[in-house]
Each structure stands twice: as C-alpha cells, then as structure tokens.
Amino acid sequence: MAFGAFENGRPHLHTLGCKSVYSASSLEIVNVPSGDSGWVALGQNSEIYKFVGKNPNRLFASGWRISIEKLIALEAQQNPDRVALPVDIVHISAAGATWL
C-alpha cells in the first residue's frame, strides 16, 4: 500500500508492504521505507531492487520513462505471470502530477 500526501507544499510517500511467505501458510507484514532516493518501486519489485543495488549510478541515466520501462521489463522477464508492459507512469512533484 502507498499513502501519499502534500505536506508544506512537498509530496511525501509512505509505503507499507505485505510479503507472503510461500514456504508456509502465513503472511509476514513488512514496512518498506521509501528512503532518501526520491523514488520507490511499488508492486512486484525484487528484480528492480537487485538491478538498482548492482547499478546505483545507472538508475535513470536514460531518462525517467525509458529507465522505468527497462526496470519493469527486467521484472516481467522473471515474473511474466504477474508483470507486463505497457504501463502508465506518473511523476508527482510539488508542481503537481505529470504523466510520462
């Protein structure tokens, strides 16, 4: 889940993730902080965070839309039953929302 609001004219995002434990019949609730990077990957994102961890300086070098589509494509290759392109991408800033 993602909760967003504008505070003092700036956008803030707090995320709370639910992680299923497939090897057992239980559900583990984990808090997923958005951190200081200015972005967060919602939904299926394990491949995205693996790539970002290995390539922190390449993250958005190609521009926002192309980079996001590449990250989603990485996720779709590993999880084709859960992730697929095309997607709609919105950038939220103090100036408002812009569709990329």
Residue 27 β-bridge partners: 20
Q: What single letter denotes the amino acid at residue 86?
A: P
Instruction: Say how far apart CA 99 and CA 35 lie, in whole Å.
Output: 23
Please tell me which residue, 64 or 23, carries the higher pLDDT value: 64
pTM of the model: 0.61
Instruction: Say how far apart CA 9 and CA 66 lie, in whole Å.
Output: 28
pLDDT tens per residue across span 52-75: 888 877 777 788 788 888 899 999
Instruction: Report pLDDT for 34.
Output: 47
Instruction: Report pLDDT for 19.
Output: 55
Domain ranges in the chain are 1-34, 43-100
**What angle do helix axes 46-54 and 64-78 make, rounded to 10 degrees?**
120
Instruction: Say how far apart CA 68 and CA 100 lie, in whole Å.
Output: 10
